[in-house]
């Protein structure tokens, strides 16, 4: 049988617009070939890959981690805590960010030759039903998250004008926000339907222009503001350690765990790093450090320029930029910043629109979703899932009608997203521990030490996720969330519906649901 060599494949596709110079895509190509080829071919590809230089350095993977995790929209929520916000960021990094990355790395390395991601990891430990629950939550929470992040996008568009008073009024207008949310989301959906080439280009430049550059600019302006005698509006009396006896001080801050969400997806790259046992933890710790520093100093920068009493969850980032630019007599740049942030929102949404939906699509074709959900367009994109996802987002956006303000809508959907995502993380951490015993003999190219080490790291991650999960049900005292009845109804009702649905679908599945063309390896316990 003809041998498969990566250089030939790269040469074959060298003329195509979506592979040139894209290391990530080349890496993913190599991963696909490893998983689909025979054992002998796998070794040939690995050997070829080593000679072509397509290996991720510690610095490259660290930057990828930062790009995947960092979002500026949540900085305003934490700026009300003053110096103690640094404590929350560091605490969440220790008990959630680093455990998530390290545990996901071991699981990804264990099953690097099999599809499924979190579905595979949880399914091998707890059975297919729980695996389906995990990937279902991963998909549906991102669907609920879209209106939240797009609300921030609507605010960015509102601040393109030069009159801050008018901009703030427009950003608070429910009708304007609803229209913009739906417009941006459906534009992102139609772009995603075009295929990976479009998604890759927009996501790459959007992440740079709309997140990394604005983050650096915000931090630099904050430092320059204090250095030139600007008034520090941050409450410095709270100190580094917050009063944890006051529950209100930790409820809103619990959402910080989800600032770091998505790190588990970086685990797929563990085998693309030279000497992964040594260098992968280095990349994770470096990426985590950079991420934490961006969050801390970005939050401080907002706190310097905006008093805690004036913080608005959806508007304060834009107001902060406006105030800094006015201070430095650069107000002409405000619309540019707003456009950049809006472009970053589009890029982030586009990445997620085409990401988790692809995971549930692959699992669905393995027989876990009806044939209707398995339809794809001529570009090989999961058409029907994206369209259904869009309908759900549209319905959620209509919650503007019952919520008292854009800010309350933003917060309640943020909390629901956190609740659901944390359930998936708890399943992942528990599965990692279980597999240490049920699959004790399975090769682990990347291993977190002995079983005691796994209990420690995964246990800390599980308990941290559980703490944040419980706190997410409590309305934050610092923010007007409207009727507590609506608050609890949305959280409890929404969480119940989302969690029960995959069990119903799983119980209804039929052998005819399995797509005969789907190549999906069975679980090891099925053999």
Lowest mean pLDDT: which of 52-56, 96-100, 184-188, 310-314? 52-56
Lowest mean pLDDT: which of 212-216, 224-228, 241-245, 453-457? 241-245
State the pTM of this model: 0.77
Phi, psi values for residue 311, rounded to 5°: -70, 130
Q: What is the largest CA-CA distance in the chain?
A: 73
**Whether pLDDT at 439 is above 90:** yes
Contacts of 240 (CB under 8 A, 6+ apart): 83, 84, 86, 87
Confidence band of 486 (pLDDT split at 50, 70, 90): confident
| Cα–Cα dist 201/212, whole Å | 16
pLDDT given at position 9:
40
Count H helices, E strands: the chain? 23, 0
pLDDT in tens, 69-93: 777 777 887 787 788 888 888 888 8
**Whether pLDDT at 266 is above 80:** no
Tokens for 264? 């588990």
**Whether pLDDT at 28 is above 60:** no
Q: Between 239 and 322, where is the model more confident?
A: 322
Confidence band of 252 (pLDDT split at 50, 70, 90): low
| Cα–Cα dist 194/201, whole Å | 12
Lowest mean pLDDT: which of 187-191, 271-275, 337-341, 467-471? 271-275
Range 315-339 average pLDDT: 89
Confidence band of 189 (pLDDT split at 50, 70, 90): confident
| Cα–Cα dist 358/197, whole Å | 15
**Whether pLDDT at 277 is above 90:** no
pLDDT given at position 101:
86
Question: What is the residue-averaged pLDDT of the chain?
Answer: 79
pLDDT given at position 345:
78
- Residue showing tokens 């790459």: 204
| Cα–Cα dist 520/510, whole Å | 17
| Cα–Cα dist 107/461, whole Å | 15
**What is the C-alpha radius of gyration for the chain, rounded to an integer number of angstroms?**
23
Lowest mean pLDDT: which of 67-81, 117-131, 307-321, 369-383? 67-81
Confidence band of 11 (pLDDT split at 50, 70, 90): very low
Kindly state the percentage of the chain with pLDDT values over 90: 23
**Whether pLDDT at 340 is above 70:** yes
Q: Between 505 and 254, where is the model more confident?
A: 505
pLDDT given at position 519:
77
- The candidate with the shortest Cα–Cα distance to 482, out of 419, 400, 398, is 400
Q: Are 520 and 116 in contact (CB under 8 A)?
A: yes
Domains and CATH numbers, the chain: 1-54 (no CATH), 57-526 (1.20.1740.10)
Contacts of 402 (CB under 8 A, 6+ apart): 486
**Whether pLDDT at 62 is above 60:** yes
pLDDT given at position 248:
66
Tokens for 79? 């700026």
- Measured from the Cβ of residue 3, the count of other Cβ atoms closer than 10 Å reads 11
- Residue showing tokens 């996720």: 465
Q: Between 110 and 347, where is the model more confident?
A: 110
pLDDT given at position 126:
96
Kindly state the percentage of the chain with pLDDT values over 70: 81
Tokens for 117? 């991601």
pLDDT in tens, 366-404: 899 999 998 988 888 889 999 999 998 898 888 766 666
Q: Between 47 and 88, where is the model more confident?
A: 88
**Whether pLDDT at 2 is above 90:** no
């Amino acid at each position: 049988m003809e041998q498969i060599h990566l250089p030939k494949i790269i040469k074959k596709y060298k003329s195509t617009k979506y592979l040139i110079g894209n290391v990530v895509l080349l890496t993913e190509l190599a991963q696909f070939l490893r998983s689909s080829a025979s054992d002998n071919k796998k070794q040939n590809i690995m050997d070829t890959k080593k000679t072509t230089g397509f290996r991720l350095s510690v610095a490259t993977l660290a930057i990828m981690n930062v790009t995947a995790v960092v979002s500026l929209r949540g900085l305003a929520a934490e700026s009300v805590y003053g110096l103690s916000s640094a404590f929350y960021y560091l605490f969440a990094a220790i008990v959630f960010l680093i455990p998530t990355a390290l545990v996901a790395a071991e699981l990804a390395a264990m099953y690097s030759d099999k599809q499924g991601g979190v579905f595979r990891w949880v399914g091998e430990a707890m059975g297919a039903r729980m695996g389906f629950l995990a990937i279902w939550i991963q998909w549906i929470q991102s669907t609920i998250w879209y209106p939240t992040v797009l609300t921030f996008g609507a605010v960015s568009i509102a601040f393109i004008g030069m009159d801050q008073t008018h901009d703030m009024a427009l950003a608070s207008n429910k009708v304007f926000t609803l229209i913009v949310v739906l417009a941006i989301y459906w534009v992102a959906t139609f772009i995603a339907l075009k295929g990976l080439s479009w998604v890759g280009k927009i996501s790459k430049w959007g992440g740079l222009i709309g997140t990394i550059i604005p983050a650096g600019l915000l931090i630099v302006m904050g430092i320059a503001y204090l250095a030139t005698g600007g008034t520090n509006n941050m409450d410095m009396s709270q100190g580094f350690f917050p009063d944890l006896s006051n529950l209100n001080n930790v409820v809103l801050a619990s959402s910080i765990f989800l600032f770091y969400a998505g790190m588990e997806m970086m685990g797929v790259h563990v085998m693309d790093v030279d000497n992964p046992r040594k260098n992968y933890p280095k990349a994770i710790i470096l990426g985590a450090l950079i991420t934490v520093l961006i969050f801390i100093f970005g939050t401080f920068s907002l706190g310097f320029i905006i008093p805690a009493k004036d913080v608005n969850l959806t508007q304060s980032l834009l107001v902060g930029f406006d105030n800094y630019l006015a201070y430095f007599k650069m107000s002409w740049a405000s619309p540019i910043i707003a456009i950049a942030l809006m472009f970053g929102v589009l890029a982030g949404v586009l990445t997620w629109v085409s990401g988790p939906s692809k995971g549930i699509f692959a699992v669905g074709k393995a027989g876990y979703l009806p044939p209707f959900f398995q339809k794809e367009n001529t570009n090989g994109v999961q058409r029907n899932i994206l369209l259904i996802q869009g309908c759900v987002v549209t319905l959620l956006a209509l919650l503007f009608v019952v919520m008292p303000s854009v800010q309350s809508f933003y917060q309640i959907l943020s909390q629901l997203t956190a609740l659901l995502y944390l359930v998936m993380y708890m399943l992942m951490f528990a599965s990692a521990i279980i597999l240490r015993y049920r699959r004790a003999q399975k090769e682990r190219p990347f291993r977190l030490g002995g079983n005691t080490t796994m209990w420690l790291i995964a246990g800390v991650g599980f308990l941290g996720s559980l703490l944040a999960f419980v706190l997410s049900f409590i309305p934050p005292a610092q923010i007007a969330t409207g009727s507590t009845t609506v608050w609890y109804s949305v959280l409890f009702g929404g969480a119940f519906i989302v969690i029960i649905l995959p069990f119903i679908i799983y119980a209804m599945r039929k052998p005819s649901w399995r797509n005969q063309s789907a190549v999906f390896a069975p679980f090891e316990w099925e053999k």
